[in-house]
Amino acid sequence: MVSRCVCSREAETLRHLFLDCPRTHLIWGHYQRILGMRELGFMSPRALLLIWRRRAPSRHHLRVLLPCFILWQVWKARNAFRFHSQSFSTDAVIYQVGADISLAGSAFSFKPPQLRGVLDSRFLAGLRVLATPRRLIRLVAWTRPSPGVIKLTVDGCSRGNPGMAASGGILRDHRGVALAAFGSFLGHKPILYAELMAVCEGLELASQLGHSVLEVESDSATVVSWVLSQGPVRWDYSYILRQACRLTSSASIQVRHVLREATSAADFLANWACSHKSSRRFFSYQELPRGLLGILRTDAQSIPYVRR
């Protein structure tokens, strides 16, 4: 004799128990509303699992896990009704499914992508969600030096590291006016070589022009630490560093690290030299590459760049 379902309306089959039973239907409807899913008809529990999995944004999404918890708790409630004469409570099953999800969240720490599409904020509040770190947005600008001080901004590039490399730099006064600039092609070199050569050539150019009070800015923290004698130096770069240190010792020079957005002009010159595979020094606005002029105007007005 076929057993009656917990709803006492139909014969108990897998499809009726897990899908078509009015009480089970309420449970599926509850979680479909939470996940923002429209109600669908399924031919079997297996078809339901496949459809929920296919409609999940990823294989780790809650939609893949949730149907397993629902089917399990429905089966447990059915057995308690059948063998222990306990009532089949829809609310109790929903509560137990929620407890299973919370337990899984405590064990694995759900990440926001796994809960994408969940519409019920109260449901989310009961889960342990590992928040994605927010990316801070910073405003970075080139700053003018004090009157009487010349600022040297340098940068290097290496396309491949090691790869085709170049160095670039520019000298500007307290008004942001460009006094001289350079871009030097270095051949096949690593990035630290290019960064260090940019410092060295920039100091040489400043010395030739008679500028003895300088602020030097580079976006390479490693090279800055080398010049300030605060870190170990590669032996094959030591001769370049000795030359740079000799130049810094004969003048009033401050060397500091800045973020890359503050070296945009020098970065442009280094990439210009690398693209053209040539070296050149510039001593007037008319000689400068056209694409650099907009960067110089932006820097002169201290308009910041957005760093994400």
Question: Any idea how long the chain is?
Answer: 308
Flag the least confident range among 43-47, 224-228, 275-279.
Answer: 43-47
Three-class SS of residue 277?
coil
Is the model's pLDDT at 121 over the cut of 70? no
Is the model's pLDDT at 26 over the cut of 80? yes
Q: What pLDDT is stored for residue 134 in this prediction?
A: 60
Helix (H) or strand (E) holding 84: helix 62-84
pTM greater than the 0.85 cutoff: no
Is the model's pLDDT at 126 over the cut of 60? no
**Looking at residues 242-261, what average pLDDT do you find?**
85
Q: What pLDDT is stored for residue 127 in this prediction?
A: 60
- Residue partners of 68: CB distance under 8 A and separation at least 6: 49
Q: Which residue has the higher pLDDT, 89 or 251?
A: 89
Torsion of CA 24, 25, 29, 35, to 10 degrees: 60
Is the model's pLDDT at 273 over the cut of 90? yes
Tokens of 46: 């297996």
Q: What pLDDT is stored for residue 87 in this prediction?
A: 86
Flag the least confident range among 14-28, 35-49, 59-73.
Answer: 35-49
Burial of residue 139, with CB atoms counted within 10 A of its CB: 0-12 exposed, 13-18 middle, 19 or more buried: exposed
Q: What pLDDT is stored for residue 165 in this prediction?
A: 97
- Per residue in 167-226, pLDDT (tens digit) is 999 999 999 999 999 999 999 999 999 999 999 999 999 999 999 899 999 999 999 998
pLDDT band at 160 (very low <50, low <70, confident <90, very high): very high
Is the model's pLDDT at 113 over the cut of 80? no
